[in-house]
Chains A and B, each alone.
Chain A
């Protein structure tokens, strides 16, 4: 299968001031030299803890955040330098489902207008066509036609997220970025939304970039996974490889930290505790960013930053000792 999205050396940095008004300017590299690919029709999950840069990377891919450097190729075209009409065309192909269904819907608009808005601003379709599309979308995400005229506050959390999904589907995008689409929902409702997303993917051949910190959800949804730590991808592998044979010590610690109901799994796994907190993102250590908390770190890790290396079978790890 071909790659729909190919991100190369993407870097996003923010300017921060240290030490008052005349303090020295410093840069915080939220996403630092990150590369990953997503195959057409598949799901790549980006996992990591808060502050690891996963959402920033996704925003940069959607051109909602300016990148400092790198390439984001969609269907072979680099979309980072695009502007004006070309960018408007690209926006039709990349849509976003946001985390919080309570704050990402306009409270003054009716549900049908919220779903229609991307069509109004990005396409040149006629009014009748647009209405037909919106009605079809409501059915596709499991909402009733009479609910089209309601306002956002009249829906439950799960229904609101369905509206958010319908809105993302409106322009028939090729890539949908789901930024923690279920983390604000109750567990029983989560299952409904996850099943819906998988069904839509199968029916419409969608490609997902799925951002999440919940590894249970990630293993259920994804075909491949990129693990981020402090702005870097530390491991990138297929689903079975990553969960069955995690190679980076951070991934191992992350997987072992997830509480599980499976008794055999709980018995066989020892929790790998990583002490302390992540380093200061403005003053990053020289070597591996995980070295300070890593249970197997050696002198080499402190001085030399490991590169993301492919093992020949598509399992990529950034660790000197993997």
Chain B
């Protein structure tokens, strides 16, 4: 079986005031139907930009695909026409955005908004599309879907709005669902409901999911594979369990250990959290031929400052872009 989505050496450039900056630099990945891949990293690392590129939604005139291929279902969509992209978006690839408050239209009821997506892609009459919207709201477990379909976004709670967003994204039974921080704005108990819902829907429909998040815990619960992004480049790529067990890139190690986790054997003693000093470099430094993490890394050597690290492959399918991956 060939993978549903293959990305080969993708490079995306943004035109900024300081010149052209590669926000995604040499990214490759593959994703099979029914599987979940997760992107993690701090803000400004290019996670959302990858999602926008997959959707063909890069900011016009500012962002462009400079090199590489995005092959979705056997078709290279980097050079697809706007009309073809419009067909794919919503139909085959759809997206759940971070802020359920701002990504729904406040002046249309949620039922109308879901029905609109259905009518745009499936040529159904108004009434049938509305009925389908109600079914979808039921599928995402909104109580009394018939009555609630006429509600406006402000009449719903944050969790319900996010579920309405998911219903909209699922309207045309996409093959690939991109969820960009779907639960960051929500409480933990609601987050658990949404994750459960996504897992169930994935089982039923066999869709592939790309989950973008900054929470390693969420990755561990949801995904099979993970890509750790840093400054537009892949830092580490591989199976989630292997990477959490033994991260080979110092940035991944930092991301896991800098967050206080709830663990089963809790003690009175609490050690200081591991700090990753400094912040993500600014866009204008992104293209340099060196390890961009070097300035924040405690394992840095001469090599890191002078050459971009090459991929190191390990037996368990783990790939780390670090000169010292074997020793770590």
The verdict on B285 contacting chain A, using a C-beta distance below 8 Å, is: no
Chain A interface residue bracket vs B: 35 or more
Which candidate, B53-61, B164-172, B189-197, is the interface stretch facing chain A? B189-197
A261 touches B188 (CB 8 A): no
Q: A187-B259, A265-B264 given as contacts; is B220 within 8 A of A257 (CB)?
A: no
Which candidate, A162-170, A191-199, A300-308, is the interface stretch facing chain B? A191-199
B214 touches A186 (CB 8 A): yes
The verdict on A88 contacting chain B, using a C-beta distance below 8 Å, is: no
Instruction: Report Cα–Cα, A221/B272, bound state, in Å.
Output: 10
B263 touches A260 (CB 8 A): yes
B196 touches A273 (CB 8 A): yes
- Give the total of B residues in contact with A, Cβ under 8 Å: 47
Q: A264-B264, A268-B264 given as contacts; is B277 within 8 A of A192 (CB)?
A: yes
The verdict on A215 contacting chain B, using a C-beta distance below 8 Å, is: yes
Distance in Å: Cβ of A197 to nearest Cβ of chain B: 11
A186 touches B260 (CB 8 A): no
The verdict on B157 contacting chain A, using a C-beta distance below 8 Å, is: yes
Distance in Å: Cβ of A260 to nearest Cβ of chain B: 5
Instruction: Report Cα–Cα, A160/B276, bound state, in Å.
Output: 17
A277 touches B276 (CB 8 A): no
A190 touches B259 (CB 8 A): yes
Contact of B189 among A187, A239, A274 (CB under 8 A): A274
Interface string of A249-261 (1 = CB under 8 A from B): 0000111111111
Distance in Å: Cβ of B225 to nearest Cβ of chain A: 15
Which A residues lie within 8 Å of B143 (CB)?
276
Contact of A263 among B215, B241, B275, B279 (CB under 8 A): B241
A257 touches B264 (CB 8 A): no
A213 touches B264 (CB 8 A): no
Chain A: CB-nearest residue to B44: A186
Chain A: CB-nearest residue to B276: A188
Which A residues lie within 8 Å of B302 (CB)?
none
Contact of B188 among A187, A213, A262, A268 (CB under 8 A): A213
Chain A residues engaging chain B, CB cutoff 8 angstroms:
49-50, 156, 158, 186-192, 194-195, 198, 213, 215-217, 219-221, 239-240, 243-244, 253-266, 268, 271, 273-277
